[in-house]
Structure 1
Amino acid sequence: MKKKLVKAIHDRVEKMNQAYVRGNASIFDEDEKKAIEQERKEMEKRGAEVVRSQATGDIISVRTHEQVTQVDYAILLERLIVQDEGSYMEERVFKRRATFTEGRLRADVRLLQGPVQDALNEGAGARDEQSQKHREYNRRDAVRYAERWWNDYNPAFKRFEDNCTNFISQCLYAGGAPMTAKGNTHHGWWYENSQSMSLSWSVAHSFRWYLSGAQKGLRGEEKQRASQLLPGDVICYDFDGSGRWDHTAIVVAKDLRNEPLVNAQTVNSRMRYWTYQNSPAYTPDIQYKFFRIVVD
Structure 2
Amino acid sequence: MEGYNSGSFQSQPDYQNPAGGQSCTGWNMTPNQRAVKDCGSSPCFLAGVILYSAALLIGLFQSVMGNGSVYVNMVEQAGMINSGIFSGMAIVLSLILMVPGILICAGMWMFYGSSRGEGVPTTSGLSLAKGGMVANMVVIIIGGALIVVILGIAVAGTRGADWHGYLHYYFGSRYIEGSEAAMGLLLVLVTLICLAVVGLAAVYLAKAIRTGNVVANICRTGWPDKKLSMFLIVMNFIVVGVNLLSILSGIGGLSRAVNPDLMPILQNALSVGATLCVTISILNLRSRLISGR
Greater helix share, 1 or 2?
2
Identify the TM-score tier after normalising by the shorter chain: under 0.3
TM-score of the two chains, using structure 2 as the length reference: 0.26
State the structure with bigger RCO (CA 8 A, min sep 6), 1 or 2. Answer: 2
Tell me the TM-score normalised to structure 1 length: 0.26
Query: If each structure's strand is expressed as a fraction of its own residues, which one has the higher value?
Result: 1
Q: Is the radius of gyration larger for structure 1 or structure 2?
A: 2
